[in-house]
Amino acid sequence: MRWMWIDRIVEHEPGVRLVAVKNVSLAEEHLHDHFPGNPIMPAALIIEGVAQTSGIMVGAINNFKEKVLLAKVAKVELDRDAQPGDTLRYTATLDRIDDAGASTMAQVHLRNNEDGDDWQLIGEVDLLFSHADQNMSGLDLPEENFVFGDNFREILSASGLRPETV
Amino acid sequence: MTHDEIQAKVAEVLEAALGCDEDEIVADASLTADLGAESIDFLDIVFQLEKTFSTPDAPFKIDQGELFPEGILDNADWVKDGSLTDTGLAMLTERMPHVNFEGFDGSVSKVGDLITVAALVNFVEIKLNATAA
């Protein structure tokens, strides 16, 4: 299983914002347990999708040379469930960045794909990322950039982002 | 900006970054020991202080290691047997003018506790005054 919780990057303004979409599908195994008879995309996986969207935006700023790790979920507000057939859109914007890390803000929109339905703002997720090599605190991290590895290769290539380190 | 205004804004930043209650944010509360701050929270606090105190004319930029010197433990001139040497303590005192070292026993394990709410307010005030000068 690939730990990818976005399907496509649809917009990228380097260092400013990155937008990705996620189609929620009944083929996703976990939805049959969450919950039986009432499939709902777990909020934790929406946060993960936002983290991937925001993390790619942060990583792209330094051409994916930094190991960008999610360090803190500063704020989460989600007002509505996402169900199979819905499309989620994560719009991440850069708040601040320096050598040590970055903070990001994101909006979560949902479209249920019925006729006439428009994007509806359903939440906000603010995150903090650490540039791991700058904050190792004695940890011995591997040389290769394990953050933007195989998992991300296809989605980055498809969106025209070609990290030097993968 | 007055001392009280700075204090109020610093308290807002700490409430947001650490999720602590207003009444916990007292002058001598240590960010780590009393308010539960972890290392990544300091990055959050630094970012929020920069945002809070920056103006279009005067950006408020905190460099890495400015609030808290880095690499102290790796330096044999500064640390010996779990305590700061005289040289180490002199370095820390010089590089952390915002901190009150009274009662500090030089133990390395307690260096992190030196950043109190009052130290953070002092830090901002010193920086703002330096910018204004």
d(CA B20, CA A66): 31
pLDDT over 70 percentage in chain A:
93
Flag if B47 and A96 touch (Cβ within 8 Å).
Answer: yes
Shared domain check, B73 and B106: yes
Considering CB atoms only, which of B39, B46, B50 is closest to A137? Answer: B39
Mean pLDDT of A120-137: 88
CB B45 within 8 A of CB B20: no
- In which region does residue B110 sit, left (phi positive, over 0), alpha (psi from -120 to 50) or beta (all else)? alpha
The residue among B22, B18, B21, B44 whose CA lies nearest residue B32 is B18
Q: How far is CA A44 from the centre of its chain?
A: 11
Tell me, yes or no, whether B4 and B56 share the same domain.
Answer: yes
Task: Kindly state whether residues B106 and B59 are assigned to the same domain.
Answer: no
- My answer on whether B61 and B119 are in the same domain is yes
Q: CB–CB of A96 and B50 under 8 A?
A: yes
Give me the CATH code for the A8-158 domain, please: 3.10.129.10
pLDDT(B62) > 50: yes
**Cα separation, B51 vs B47, whole angstroms:** 6
ipTM greater than 0.85: no
**Claim to verify: residue B73 and residue B63 sit in the same structural domain:** no
In this complex, do B64 and A96 lie within 8 Å of one another by their Cβ atoms? no
For residue B112, give both structure tokens. 């992190």
Same domain, B48 and B74: no
Taking only the tens place, the pLDDT of each residue in A35-54 is 999 999 999 999 999 999 99
Same domain for B31 and B96? no
> Are B9 and B63 part of one and the same domain?
yes
Helix (H) / strand (E) containing A153? helix A150-158
Count of domains observed in chain B: 2
Query: Are residues B48 and B97 both part of a single domain?
Result: no
Mean pLDDT calculated for residue range A96-110: 96
Tokens representing B3 are 């001392």
pLDDT tier at B65 (50, 70, 90 boundaries)?
Answer: confident
Of A72, A98, A99, the CB nearest to B44: A72
Q: Residue A166 — very low, low, confident or very high, per pLDDT cuts 50/70/90? A: very low
Per DSSP bridges, beta strands A68-78 and A8-13 are unpaired
**Contact residues, chain A to chain B, C-beta under 8 Å:** 71-72, 74, 95-96, 98-101, 103, 128, 130, 134-135, 137
Sequence letter at residue A84: P
Whether the link from the prior residue into A64 is cis, omega within 30° of 0, is: no
Q: What is the DSSP string of A25-88?
A: -TT-GGGGTSSTTS----HHHHHHHHHHHHHHHHHHHTTT-S-EEEEEEEEEEE-S---TT-EE
Residues B35 and B60 in one domain: yes
CA angle A73, A78, A80 (to 5 degrees): 155
Task: List the domain range (segments joined by +) for residue B60.
Answer: 1-67+115-133
Out of B47, B51, B64, closest to residue A99 by CB: B64
Q: Is B82 left (phi over 0), alpha (psi -120 to 50) or beta?
A: left
- Assess whether B57 and B78 both reside in one domain: no
Instruction: Tell me, yes or no, whether B97 and B33 share the same domain.
Output: no
Q: Where in the sequence numbering do the catalytic residues of A fall? A: 34
Segment A97-121 shows an average pLDDT of: 93
pTM recorded for the entire structure: 0.87
Q: Which of B47, B52, B61 to mutate to test the interface with A (most CBs of A within 10 A)?
A: B47
Question: Residue ranges per domain, chain A?
Answer: 8-158
In this structure, is the dihedral angle defined by the CA atoms of residues A60, B60, B121 and B103, taken in order, positive or negative?
positive
Question: A130 vs B50: CB contact, 8 Å cut-off?
Answer: no
